[in-house]
Chain A
């Protein structure tokens, strides 16, 4: 009972990596190293307590430190495409890959900004006043009055909305957040090499 798996684990190499579906593809696509993928897989399986092979929003909710985050529901929501209630390992890794620091040789858009604005986006790709109000309410809770909330939202839109259409488009958002210093560094998670 205690040593029964001894022979199996001491056998061939890469047995954990083999367990992970499409590991090679994932590594190519996301740029995570093999150790990272193995590590993330361990994390995924430990979050998936019932061993179903996918995660649902409650599994994320069980992470204690995430539970106290004011915008936790939005962050969790990023892992589930609209209409879907489950997230498999590929989705898990792909979303997290958005937060990797951008490699010098990659020419893609700074991914963290993309996903960040995804969280705020309204259906047509702009951040409307209502959306902004909702996010502000999440972050500030019951500590501020409705009027204060609205004045903050109005002021923010005033600063960022350059074409005066009443909403913040992705371009305007980028301009506002990316002005001087490379925010990619601030936003991305420093994964160990």
Chain B
């Protein structure tokens, strides 16, 4: 006679063997059984149906305010500079434009820009999640979508059940297995003497672990241009949206990570990883000394047997609609830069980590209760510092290439503005630009430089 405990034990065994057989083993060998593909296709069809249903529902109820997804202000097709805009303003003034004199309506330009920025600005929106054009049946993205129909509500309810009761436990199991495997595997490999076998084993452990973690997020990743994959002795540079970027990239290659040593669970993982192959971890105090940091990175890439370094030059997480200023530090080291563009599909889940709003644990739970993570990774051709080019210019060049490929907006604002104020020097730049129009062009006044 089977008691309650025996049944529970049997179920547990069944669960473990399903997980191991259908998910773990194929994951470790990089084989896909096709379950995720079917899931994604089914999901897409459901979301498309939901979108049509919502649109139909909105047409039937014209009184309900509609979502203005693209912002409230019309965007110009091509961005205009200060000179062009002020020139246009002045054209309506009868005075001759040949002289760069001050005209009262110049102030309109600053006024209008200021008010437009109050209504909507390019920077603040990058530090919060992207807005969706249509609801993707996750409550967290339900901003102003109203009750539309019974069927939609049922599908949403079903979605909640599937995500929380079926997918979440499965994903947590996989994540736990993946991370424990990483820690034990790398510690074991670390016991071996340094040799080629050790490197091969270390790569194997890392890749299998990241693959398990990727399954743990139902991640579907499309890699493009694999021939440009980063090689040893190089630096891989990518746009940063979340800590998951590391899992995404490491599924297709092995990298040496760079970062600060943390305490707790993170610290344990970091310390065991470094036993099997060299990663570059810094103490908090070392991070302040830029020369020491640069030296260590230079030593690492000089050794051609070591794995390529993975760096995120933005320095902080941005919401995957734009690329912000790349810090020049990584571009001064020398060595070949391998740019990589990562673009997540926001319909399946929002990958952006808003560190002001969510801590790491809530973030991971949100990830695991999304539909899936679907993203595209493009490997771009390698770039090097050209003659006569400085690090800042090089960084901007790489940034534009990444933004272009990923379909992201290329901004020169510093991601650090998430937490800091804008420096006064930027305001002075605007003043300089305007003054050069007024005083620089004026032929009546003797050009006296600033006192």
Question: Chain A interface (Cβ within 8 Å of chain B)?
Answer: 2-3, 5-6, 9-14, 16-17, 33-40, 43, 46, 60-72, 75, 96, 99, 112, 116, 119-120, 135-136, 139-148, 151-152, 155-156, 159-160, 168, 173, 176-177, 179-183, 186-192
Cα distance, A46 to B102, chains bound together (Å) = 37
Given contacts A13-B61, A142-B431, whether A136 and B102 have CB atoms under 8 Å apart is yes
Cross-chain contact A65 with B123 (CB below 8 angstroms): yes
Total of A-B residue pairs, C-beta within 8 Å = 218
Residues of A within 8 Å of B432, CB to CB, are 141, 143
Give the number of chain B interface residues (Cβ < 8 Å).
77
Partner of A152, one of B72, B101, B116: B101
Beyond the given pairs A9-B145, A139-B107, A155-B102, 8 more chain A to chain B contacts, judged by CB atoms under 8 angstroms and listed by A's residue number, are A38-B65, A63-B117, A65-B122, A70-B431, A135-B107, A143-B436, A177-B93, A191-B72
The closest CB in chain A to the CB of B108 belongs to A187
Cα distance, A116 to B104, chains bound together (Å) = 10
The reply on B105 being an interface residue by CB < 8 A is yes
Interface string of B62-85 (1 = CB under 8 A from A): 011111101111100000000000
A184 to chain B, nearest CB (A): 11
Cα distance, A34 to B63, chains bound together (Å) = 9
List 27 A–B pairs whose Cβ atoms lie within 8 Å, in order of A's numbering.
Answer: A6-B160, A9-B145, A10-B146, A10-B147, A13-B147, A39-B72, A40-B72, A61-B421, A66-B117, A67-B422, A68-B426, A96-B119, A116-B111, A139-B106, A140-B435, A143-B432, A144-B438, A144-B450, A147-B448, A156-B104, A173-B104, A176-B104, A180-B92, A181-B91, A181-B92, A192-B68, A192-B74
The closest CB in chain B to the CB of A188 belongs to B112
The closest CB in chain B to the CB of A182 belongs to B92
Cα distance, A46 to B124, chains bound together (Å) = 10
- Per the 8 Å Cβ criterion, residues 366-383 of B in contact with A are 366, 369
The reply on B404 being an interface residue by CB < 8 A is no
Residues of B within 8 Å of A179, CB to CB, are 92-94
Given contacts A2-B369, A60-B118, whether A10 and B142 have CB atoms under 8 Å apart is yes
